[in-house]
Amino acid sequence: MAIVTELPEEQEAAITYDVFLSFRGKDTRLGFSDHLYQALVNENISTFLDEEEVETGEELKPELARAIKCSRASIIVLSKNYASSTWCLDELVMILEQRRVSDHIVLPVFYNVEPTHIRKQEGTFKEALFEHKQRIESEKDVEKKLQGARKLELWTKGLTEVADLKGKDANGRRETVFIDEIVKEISSRLELHTRTKIPHLIGMDMSILTISSWLKGGSSSKSAEILTIWGMAGIGKTTLAKYIYRLHRHEFERSSFVEEIERKCAEQKYALLDLQKQLLRDILRKRMIEEHDVDVCTSKIEKALLNKPTLLVLDGVDNFEQVDVLIGTKGFHPGSKIIVTTKDGSLTEKCSLFRIKFPPKHTEHALYGLSATESVRLLCWHAFGGYDPKEGYEEEAIRASNYCGGHPLALKVLGSSLNNEDVATWSDTFEMLETGEFHNHVHKVLQISFDSLPSQDCKELFKHIACFFVGKDREATEIILKECGIRTSYGMKKLFDRCFLTIGGDNMITMHQLLQDMGRDLVHKESPEKPWKRSRVWKHEESLDLLKKDKGTQRIQGLILDTNLLRKEHNFKDDDVNKIFRADQPIQMVYEFFLRIWLFFARLLLMLSSSHCKKVELRTDALRKMDKLKLLQLNHVKIDGSYKNFPKGLRWLCMHGFHSKFIPSDLPMENLVALDMSYSNLTQLWKKPKLLGSLKILNLSYCKIVRVEGFSWLPALERLILINCKSLVHVCESIGGCDGLVILDLSYCNNLSNVPISISKLKKIKRLSLNGCLGASEFLMRMKDMESYASSSSIGEFLPKTPKSFLVPSLVTLSLIGNNLSNESFPKDFSSMSMLKTLYLNKNPIDSLPDCVRSLSKLEELHVGECWMLKSVLCPPPTIQYLWADDCPSLIKITFPQEMSSPPFLDNFGAESLS
């Protein structure tokens, strides 16, 4: 099913916000109210917060009145000076009126004030009302005087009424805990109100009710409880699971949503390990998980799941072994709930967890298509922005929804493609659909929507992404494809608008599997039997065959071949074997015994038969005919011959596992925008450098490279990634001449003892990562004695003129995790980093907050987790909003500057002794 996140504006008082936040800016704007607002937003609670102050006597702005009427709930932060603002008092009166005439929820928060003082108008509340009364009585205008007197009466009654409501009292409470309590309270109350009055999902009411009941039931059970949501692709499994997860995750101590497991495992070699790390980060609340063994990760996950009540969603599972790896076999803490989404309803019970002595309780929930009424509503939402068709479109809307057969993705895409189109266009679209030769309605709808994209650029962009860039960084993808002659900014916007693309975590491009299949199918139809006549070749087996037989042509724009993934293209699935060897229950044990034997020998034979993948050898001549090739991936392939035969128009070249010790000098790279040589045998970039005026992205992670030099030959470089280059001992100071460098990552370059200090000359760098880098300590120490280094003839030309400007003001994120840094390692002043917002100091032997951190004028996030010697964090910058101090066993004291009205969000999990 498809999610609806906003409601149509059917009338002036249509719901727009979940919460209206009323507060006195003078008291809490820069502290408590700001933190509360951020906490609400982080929980996907739509919250109205007014950014402006108001002088006493001004009338309430019309937009504030509308916001109150268009909100489902109000949180009123009653602070010491709340009643001194006539604006706040007007808000209070209107909120209470809204409560009387509707189901509007009101939650008072008594912020360092006594409810009895509000009820009886004592203390500051008495003083404020007295001042209002004097101002009103001094009014010369009779009408205004009468109006003021009526308001004063309403204000007084309002204060008495709100003080009698059940609220939350902040007195004597830690604000982080108190804010979390408020968010849970309002979430709980909105949840019931939302489910009965404001449906957020079309056609999913019964599913939401059923799964919510399952989540709340059986909490005292000692065994694990698992729910499988299953159905065909695009039917709404992920959407439903996400909605349920967001609705209920606050009820559990830990939670994690692991998305698109099937696709990630099919496209990425180390996907399961990455998914394990994500799960561990979520349930352990750690920013970094440094583990490279799948079995060890599984053991850690098993232990973590036993410790805390957890809500875990495994989305898009297509193999029961994925479940085994991600949750293990030890069970869960009582009250934990596991949700699995899959296309195969029988898959979950095949995992190892169901073969233990006390298997978990398992429930299945199947999803089918939408009803006729629900289909019309969903299509209209995407076509018209409301639940009903516009006048004159009634018949066409019903015709369209009937054609989609209740399939949510088809309805969503078709509705989006017909948005703002006239009736004639609707009719033409149906004629194309109904007279076509295709029998699969869903795919036909998707293709018609593709055909309606406004330009050929959009279509080519979509096909490029479907074939090569799903799961890739959005910004890097745009950089590469822009250089392929595509208007990426315009095209991306249109693809997002038409629901062809979405953005996932870490700014990665995501696309529904059906849409990706459709995009690849469009390319396949260019020449069903002859891949070399297509514009793009993405199947590894076809790519290998094409190159071995020297069938490359000028039609090919992009080609990928990864011999490590070749096995997956013709690999069997255990599920398929189970279907072949179905057995009745009485002989189940015998069946499983022989099945395991069969699987063992089948895997052994497959490993032997696919071992040739690692020995694949090709000749560069195989690429000589591909003059229009711009996108090329040849991972773990041995290539012989002269590289001058490589296409000269390449924009993206990815060669993981490259066998040579240096990049061949005859490789045409003049037009390259992105070069990825990760996991290669490279010990140096090249024997003889050459000018690469277009190269913007260079990734040499996990290579054996020893020295990186010649940056003067890379004038356009924007991203340099050198993660885990264990042999790297030198990065040339000429890097300071890369004026456009934005990202530099030297994490875990263990033997790099001298980080180039010319980094200080980089004017555009925003992210610098030196995690686990040996030279990070020396890098910081050298900052203390800049004058002597500035006189060095070898590096002086790359240094700034004054020591104070050593670190560039453009830096936004600095990561120094696990660098063995003590307090003495830091310079006295970091003030030159005037734009720094995020600082990672995790896993360092500091015993207190380094003095230089206090000079960071815009710091918002400070991470000091797992600093085992850390005893105190005293007076961090007043701009700080988040302090992560988890797993700091020695931490006993945290203080904040007096100018801060309230402390930032604090995560100090594991620091039980903190006072």
Q: What is the pLDDT of residues 858-879, one digit of tens each?
A: 999 999 999 999 999 999 998 8
Tokens at 495, concatenated: 């693809």
Cβ neighbors of 407 (< 8 A, separation 6 or more) are 234, 235, 369, 370, 441, 442, 445
Considering only 216-220, 519-523, 843-847, which range has the smallest mean pLDDT? 216-220
Considering only 94-98, 533-537, 563-567, 666-670, which range has the smallest mean pLDDT? 563-567
- What's the confidence (pLDDT) of residue 576? 37
* The total number of residues written for the chain in this structure: 915
Mean pLDDT of 209-231: 77
- What's the confidence (pLDDT) of residue 786? 53
Name the residue with higher pLDDT: 544 or 406.
Answer: 544
- Which H or E run includes 459? helix 456-464
Sign of the four-CA dihedral 393, 396, 399, 403:
negative
SS3 per residue for 496-555: HHCCCCEECHHHEEECCHHHHHHHHHHHHCCCCCCHHHCCEECCHHHHHHHHHCCCCCCC
Cβ neighbors of 21 (< 8 A, separation 6 or more) are 33, 36, 37, 40, 47, 48, 49, 74, 75, 77
Residue 881 pLDDT exceeds 80: yes
Q: Which whole-number Å values give the CA distances from 554 to 68, 228, 630, in the listed order?
A: 62, 48, 11
Residue in the structure block whose two tokens are 């070898």? 794
Q: What is the pLDDT of residues 806-836, one digit of tens each?
A: 567 889 999 999 998 998 888 877 888 889 9
Give the Cα separation of 440 and 233 in Å (integer).
Answer: 13
Give the Cα separation of 859 and 837 in Å (integer).
Answer: 4
Name the residue with higher pLDDT: 308 or 315.
Answer: 315
Residue in the structure block whose two tokens are 């934005």? 742
DSSP for residue 467: I
Cβ neighbors of 624 (< 8 A, separation 6 or more) are 552, 645
Percent of the chain with pLDDT over 90: 32
Q: Are 294 and 318 in contact (CB under 8 A)?
A: no
Residues facing 106 on adjacent strands: 74
Q: CA-CA-CA-CA torsion for 7, 10, 12, 17, nearest 10 degrees?
A: 0
Give the Cα separation of 780 and 760 in Å (integer).
Answer: 12
- What's the confidence (pLDDT) of residue 535? 95
Sign of the four-CA dihedral 24, 26, 32, 36:
positive
Considering only 97-106, 606-615, 624-633, 903-912, which range has the smallest mean pLDDT? 606-615
Residue 438 pLDDT exceeds 80: no
Strands 838-840 and 861-863: parallel
Percent of the chain with pLDDT over 70: 84
Q: What is the pLDDT of residues 777-809, one digit of tens each?
A: 878 877 655 534 444 444 444 444 444 445 678
- What's the confidence (pLDDT) of residue 609? 46
Mean pLDDT of 430-447: 61
**Confidence class of residue 611 from pLDDT cuts 50, 70 and 90?**
very low
The mean of the pLDDT values for the chain is 81
Residue 5 pLDDT exceeds 80: no
Q: What is the pLDDT of residues 546-590, one digit of tens each?
A: 999 999 999 999 999 998 887 554 443 333 333 323 333 444 444
DSSP for residue 86: H
- What's the confidence (pLDDT) of residue 721? 96
Residues facing 473 on adjacent strands: 508
- What's the confidence (pLDDT) of residue 859? 92
- What's the confidence (pLDDT) of residue 574? 37
Residue 612 pLDDT exceeds 50: no
Cβ neighbors of 466 (< 8 A, separation 6 or more) are 511, 515, 516, 518, 519, 520, 523
Mean pLDDT of 181-193: 75
- What's the confidence (pLDDT) of residue 220? 45
Which span out of 138-147, 511-520, 612-621, 713-722 was modeled with the highest average pLDDT? Answer: 713-722
Give the Cα separation of 419 and 427 in Å (integer).
Answer: 14
- What's the confidence (pLDDT) of residue 558? 96
Mean pLDDT of 83-102: 90
Residue 340 pLDDT exceeds 90: yes
- What's the confidence (pLDDT) of residue 399? 83
**Confidence class of residue 162 from pLDDT cuts 50, 70 and 90?**
very high
- What's the confidence (pLDDT) of residue 440? 58
The DSSP secondary structure of 222-254, one letter per residue, reads SS-EEEEEE-STTSSHHHHHHHHHHHHGGGSSE
| Residue 19 main-chain phi, psi, to 5 deg | -135, 135
- What's the confidence (pLDDT) of residue 1? 40
Q: Are 242 and 258 in contact (CB under 8 A)?
A: no
Give the Cα separation of 380 and 795 in Å (integer).
Answer: 65
Give the Cα separation of 664 and 635 in Å (integer).
Answer: 16
